[in-house]
Amino acid sequence: MRKKYRVLFHGLTENEKDFKARIVRLGAPPETVDEMIRKVPVILKEGLTIESSRRYADAVYKAGGIVEIQEHGYFEDSINQPVSIVSFKDFTMCPECGLKQPKTKRCVKCGSRLVSTGNGLEPRNVAGN
């Protein structure tokens, strides 16, 4: 089993105005940043891998925040998860990027629109993605 982590915010290392400006540039709404500062300590994000939690914590730290990463449970092993088997006929390959994927209207990787040809076997790219 892999461990889950969460990122906690414990306060500021710099002045509030600079911190707010940096965090808002990272995409946080100003109202959320105000609440985060008022309600210290706050869980910013949870259910992350260690790599994701480090990146998240690093961004907040560079903006001027005091952060901590804590273990927070475990991801369930895929061994215990039900398995669904999908037929090869339910897959297609994008003619633009070559990604093999379950049949959809658009490629999940490059966004090209996929439409099956008359025989239903091969996708084709439709102009004007």
- What would the two tokens of residue 62 be? 């560079």
pLDDT tens digit sequence for 78-120: 555 566 676 777 788 888 888 888 888 888 778 888 865 544 4
- What would the two tokens of residue 98 be? 């070559």
Is-cis flag, bond preceding 41, omega within 30?
Answer: yes
pLDDT tens digit sequence for 10-57: 999 989 999 999 999 999 899 999 999 999 999 999 999 999 999 999
* Domain made up of 3-76: CATH architecture: 2-Layer Sandwich (3.30)
Q: What ranges do the domains of the chain cover?
A: 3-76, 88-125
Q: Per DSSP, which regions of the chain are E strands?
A: 3-12, 42-48, 65-74, 91-93, 100-102, 114-116, 123-125
